[in-house]
Amino acid sequence: MNLLTTYTGSMMEGFLPRGWDLARIDACCAQPPGSIGERQPWWHPRFQPVPCESVGDFDVMMGHEIATAIRRCRDEGRAAALILPVGPMGMYRWAVYFLREWDVPCDHVFGFNMDEWSDRDGNTLPPEHPGAFQNAMESAFYGPLGERTVPADRRWFATADRLPHYAERIAELKAHGAELIVIFGIGRVCHIAFWEPHFAAEYPTLDAWKAQTHRIGARLHPLTIEQNALTSFKSRTTLVPAFANTIGPGLFLGADRIIGGAEGVFDRGMQWQGASLWMTLRYGPDPWVPSSFMPTLPGRLFYHTGLAGPLEPDMH
Distance of alpha carbon 235 from its chain centroid, rounded? 21
Report CA torsion sign: 11, 18, 297, 226: negative
Question: Mean pLDDT of all residues in the chain?
Answer: 97
Euclidean distance between CA atoms 96 and 140, whole angstroms: 9
Q: Is the pLDDT score of 92 beyond 80?
A: yes
H/E element, 154: none
Q: Is the pLDDT score of 60 beyond 70?
A: yes
pLDDT at 314: 82
Burial 208-244 (b: 16+ CB within 10 A, else e): ebeebbbbbbbebbebbbbbbbbbeeeeeeeebbbbb
Q: Is the pLDDT score of 290 beyond 70?
A: yes
Considering only 154-158, 180-184, 268-272, which range has the smallest mean pLDDT? 268-272
Mean pLDDT of 225-245: 97
Name the maximum alpha-carbon separation found in the chain. 60
Mean pLDDT of 266-287: 96
Q: Which residues 6+ apart lie within 8 Å of 132 measured at CB?
A: 116, 117, 124, 125, 126
pLDDT at 224: 98
pLDDT at 239: 97
Mean pLDDT of 294-303: 98
Q: Is the pLDDT score of 100 beyond 70?
A: yes
**In the structure, what pLDDT confidence band is assigned to residue 316 with cuts at 50, 70 and 90?**
low
Euclidean distance between CA atoms 244 and 220, whole angstroms: 7
pLDDT at 167: 98
Angle at 199 between CA 259 and CA 249, to 5 degrees: 30
- List Cβ<8 Å contacts ≥24 apart for 202-206: 203/287, 206/287
List domains and CATH numbers for the chain: 45-308 (3.40.50.1360)
Q: Is the pLDDT score of 6 beyond 70?
A: yes
Edge-first strand listing for the sheet containing 243-247:
115-118, 243-247, 214-219
